[in-house]
Amino acid sequence: MEIAQTPQRSSTATAQPATRMTREQSKANTRERLLAAARRVFARSGFHGASVEEIASMAGFSTGALYSNFDGKEDLFLILMEREIDEHAREISKAVRERASVSERATGGARQWMTMIEREPDLLLLFMEFWAYGVRDAKIRPKVAAQFAHMREVLTKLIAESVREFDLELDLPPEQLAVAIDALADGIARQKLADPDAVPDELMGRVLSLLFAGATRPAAGRGRRSGR
């Protein structure tokens, strides 16, 4: 007795044709791969130690592909820096908003910053290195300043929101308080990276809470909400 054989379906009959990327999609994919490679190379070797050849090679491209998408190492780093600052700003904002008091917002934002220091120390060192490089070069300085100004703008907005939501007044403009907080965050990061045991994780949150307590007061003629 013969057993009927089930016909085998040809693999060519079921294979789906590969979807080809458009020119724009291909260019975007190339940029993403170059930026991902740059992030790894910069973090490992520093801005000065990294080379466009190493970045292009890690991404699987020639240096020609890199220069067709970016003006050079400085341009590549500035774009990468902008993306990283945007991501950190989103994380800080999420950690601060919708908390029950100004004090909790301060400690929440500080806790997120300390988490980032622990999670990505090489990236923070890289930002510090590029800051030092940028401020020495009059042509680069405005671009570097613009990147760091973005985080201050985010802090200014968060401060203004808190003052409004908790019926408070500030003893100095929110923009200036944002500068002080940004400077504190940078200083804490340097101290933590240099001597981790000397900087308790909760220190920045406690200092920020004291700073806000000293810089704010109930708004005149308005009911004060709990949780200053």
Could you tell me the CATH number of the domain that includes residue 127?
Answer: 1.10.357.10
* CA 228 vs CA 32, 92, 143, 174: distances in Å: 43, 20, 37, 16
Q: Do 136 and 155 sit in the same domain of this protein? A: yes
Is 82 in the same domain as 123?
Answer: yes
pLDDT in tens, 67-105: 999 999 999 998 998 898 899 899 999 999 878 888 899
Which domain range does residue 33 map to?
Answer: 24-70
User: Which of 161, 193, 196 minimizes the C-alpha distance to 177?
Assistant: 161
Residue 120: is its pLDDT beyond 50?
A: yes
Compute the half-sphere exposure of residue 43: CA atoms within 13 Å on the CB side of its CA: 15
Same domain, 112 and 186: yes
Same domain, residue pair 192 and 139: yes
Q: Are residues 36 and 110 in the same domain?
A: no
pLDDT of residue 143: 86
Residue 166 scores a pLDDT above 80: yes
CATH number at residue 33: 1.10.10.60
Which of 46, 182, 160 shows the shortest CA–CA distance to 113? 182
- pTM of the predicted protein model: 0.78
